[in-house]
Copies of this chain bind each other. A is one copy, B any other.
């Protein structure tokens, strides 16, 4: 491992997704750095590597994996290139985060499974990122408590504003509904055993030739029925909703970002029990903002003037509290220094 135990990552593919992962590893993730980048476009990859201290540029994934300081691999190249990159990573015995799909079909996916098993230990994480969404995570936790009983049905809504040119009906399954497949398997801990697709008359907003929306049904080996409204030219927004219907209640996410349950005669959600739960993210963002500004040599955020002004208001507040009535706040004139 690198200094201070920082994880050096080789990023394979620097398209839209890969470039965003490079930014994330550099600026958001704690304890990681980009040690190597790979792209078929040699100029592009050099330009990216040049902006990152200690990062090498490559056009060959294997060379990148062998490069100095590389501890792990992130695969963000197009799907058809995944199998080769995975097998190479296994040769170097490196941990891999592989963007979905693992590979573009089940036969090639099976070859990857076999290779990983031969390696003798697990090395691959697939990029099904919905499992890391706070709402889905809360839903999963709630199911795990058993309060709601066994899941019977799962209703899903998956809506996109509009599709890019060239989007096909098959992509609607492979690129969009694939997320609900993963969520179904993960939430219910059951395998999907059958699929049915119903097709309403297409929306006037669907491009010529695209059957959109569709209504997809899954049956599972645990006896659950799952439905997915896939509606990728809905026009109004990007919306992902899920409601699990269990024996003793239902739980729904995706409306205004809170988990809402129906249980025992009541609908509603939980209230945080302390400021840590409510404001943990704010503390994290504050620290990152301060560190980022300080590294740029800047000062942002609440100033000493803000500290002074609130101290003066507190003093008036305590007087109003103890003496009653209305207490005026006295402030010095604000120095230009703090304007």
Answer yes or no: A4 CB below 8 A from chain B CBs.
yes
- Do B289 and A4 touch across chains, with their CB atoms under 8 A apart? no
CA distance A332 to B196 in the complex (A): 21
Known contacts A133-B279, A213-B245, A309-B185; is-contact A32 B291 (Cβ 8 Å): yes
- Do B194 and A287 touch across chains, with their CB atoms under 8 A apart? no
- Do A263 and B236 touch across chains, with their CB atoms under 8 A apart? yes
- Do B123 and A299 touch across chains, with their CB atoms under 8 A apart? yes
CA distance A79 to B316 in the complex (A): 19
Q: Chain B residues with Cβ under 8 A from A196's Cβ? A: 320, 325-327
Known contacts A174-B314, A307-B126, A320-B195; is-contact A271 B262 (Cβ 8 Å): yes
Provide the A115-130 mask, 1 if CB < 8 A to any CB of B, else 0: 0110001111111111
- Do A133 and B282 touch across chains, with their CB atoms under 8 A apart? yes
Identical subunits present: 4
Answer yes or no: A109 CB below 8 A from chain B CBs.
yes
- Do A317 and B126 touch across chains, with their CB atoms under 8 A apart? no
Q: Chain B residues with Cβ under 8 A from A26's Cβ? A: 30
- Do A291 and B149 touch across chains, with their CB atoms under 8 A apart? no
Identify which of residues 251-270 in chain A touch chain B, using a CB-to-CB cut-off of 8 Å.
255-258, 260, 262-270
- Do A128 and B266 touch across chains, with their CB atoms under 8 A apart? no
Answer yes or no: A295 CB below 8 A from chain B CBs.
yes
- Do B272 and A269 touch across chains, with their CB atoms under 8 A apart? no
Which of B258, B279, B321 is A256 in contact with, Cβ under 8 Å?
B258
CA distance A307 to B198 in the complex (A): 25
- Do A173 and B128 touch across chains, with their CB atoms under 8 A apart? no
Chain B: which residue is nearest A20 at the CB level?
B283
Answer yes or no: A166 CB below 8 A from chain B CBs.
no
- Do A265 and B270 touch across chains, with their CB atoms under 8 A apart? yes
Q: Chain B residues with Cβ under 8 A from A203's Cβ? A: 149-150, 152, 247
Does more than half of chain A's interface fall in helix, strand or loop, or is it mixed?
mixed
- Do A295 and B201 touch across chains, with their CB atoms under 8 A apart? no
A114 to chain B, nearest CB (A): 9
Answer yes or no: A40 CB below 8 A from chain B CBs.
no
Which of B30, B71, B178, B278 is A310 in contact with, Cβ under 8 Å?
B178
- Do B31 and A317 touch across chains, with their CB atoms under 8 A apart? no
Q: Chain B residues with Cβ under 8 A from A72's Cβ? A: 291, 294
Answer yes or no: A284 CB below 8 A from chain B CBs.
yes
Chain B: which residue is nearest A222 at the CB level?
B201
Chain B: which residue is nearest A205 at the CB level?
B247
27 chain-A/chain-B pairs, Cβ below 8 angstroms: A5-B295, A20-B283, A29-B287, A30-B291, A31-B292, A71-B294, A95-B299, A97-B290, A105-B315, A109-B311, A128-B302, A129-B279, A133-B285, A152-B201, A170-B321, A185-B306, A194-B327, A195-B327, A196-B327, A197-B320, A197-B324, A201-B224, A214-B321, A234-B250, A236-B263, A240-B278, A256-B260
Q: What are the nearest 4 A-B pairs in CB distance?
A: A268-B268, A102-B307, A201-B223, A237-B271
